């Protein structure tokens, strides 16, 4: 009752002032309406202003109630959303892929050890993988995980596991769970070369992996990747 009274008081004063201002203006320009009936005019203004103040308070209360009910319904109905995180694991390498028919290398095979965590209350189905490499002119978007048995490197054929995350083109992570493993892509990028004690070799690369699920939820992680 105290809150209702305070709200009614706040709405009453503007209503009273408005009602009396309107009555004063009308009686000033139309005195024949009965300036001698000022007592009755004042009573009508008071009743009208009080009724209007009650209506204003009721309308605001109803709006507030509807807003709270809407929030409760959203919470009760369980507005569910995934919350993704990518964690780095102690494994990241790339192989400069040499065409079996000879020629100049034009891509690398990059493997990243990671863990994908979903802290949300909805299962996440990751369907998109983007890689940005520092120094590249643009990002490599919508890559598909690939797991061959081997690739031809600069010096030899390198055997691979042939398995990894996202072999079917997507990765499903249940709510509040984490999966670990490795993910690999062929990326049309060749790093620059530097000199080491053993001669000329390719430099490590700095890259960022961004994953996106079917609901548009994304997560990213930076990796430093060396050649093997």
Percent residues over pLDDT 70 in the chain? 64
Spatial CA neighbour of 170 closest among 201, 215, 138: 215
pLDDT given for residue 44 in this prediction: 64
Q: Tens of pLDDT along 203-212?
A: 899 999 999 9
Spatial CA neighbour of 162 closest among 139, 146, 176, 174: 146
For residues 93-112, one letter each, b for 16 or more C-beta atoms within 10 angstroms of the residue's C-beta and e for the rest, the string is bbbbbbeeeeeeeebbbbbb
- Over residues 176-204, the mean pLDDT reads 83
pLDDT given for residue 63 in this prediction: 73
Quote the mean pLDDT of the chain: 80
Q: Tens of pLDDT along 16-39?
A: 565 556 556 655 555 555 555 555
Distance, in Å, from the CA atom of 9 to the CA atom of 184, rounded to the nearest integer, reads 68
Q: Tens of pLDDT along 111-149?
A: 999 999 999 999 999 999 999 999 898 899 999 999 999
97 confidence band (pLDDT: 50, 70, 90): very high
pLDDT given for residue 174 in this prediction: 96
pTM equals 0.64
86 confidence band (pLDDT: 50, 70, 90): very high
pLDDT of residue 195 exceeding 60, the answer is no
pLDDT given for residue 155 in this prediction: 83
Under DSSP, is residue 156 helix (H, G, I), strand (E, B) or coil? coil
């Amino acid at each position: 009752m105290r809150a209702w009274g305070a709200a009614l008081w706040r709405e009453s004063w503007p209503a009273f002032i408005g009602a009396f201002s309107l009555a004063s203006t009308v009686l000033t320009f139309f005195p024949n309406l009965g300036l001698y009936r000022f007592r009755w005019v004042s009573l009508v203004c008071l009743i009208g202003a009080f009724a209007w103040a009650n209506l204003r308070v009721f309308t605001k209360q109803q709006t507030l109630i509807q807003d709270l009910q809407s929030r409760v319904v959203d919470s009760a109905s369980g507005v569910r959303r995934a919350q993704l995180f990518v964690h780095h694991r102690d494994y990241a390498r790339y192989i400069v892929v040499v065409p079996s028919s000879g020629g100049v290398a034009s891509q690398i095979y990059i493997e990243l050890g990671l863990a994908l965590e979903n802290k949300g209350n909805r299962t996440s189905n990751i369907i998109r993988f983007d890689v940005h490499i520092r120094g590249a002119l643009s990002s490599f978007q919508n890559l598909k995980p690939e797991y061959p048995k081997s690739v031809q490197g600069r010096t030899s054929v390198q055997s691979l596991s042939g398995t990894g995350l996202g072999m079917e083109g997507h990765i499903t992570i249940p709510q509040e769970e984490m999966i670990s493993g490795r993910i690999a892509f062929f990326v049309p990028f060749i790093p620059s070369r530097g000199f080491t004690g053993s001669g000329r070799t390719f430099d490590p690369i700095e890259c960022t992996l961004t994953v996106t699920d079917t609901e548009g939820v994304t997560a990213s992680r930076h990796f430093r990747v060396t050649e093997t």
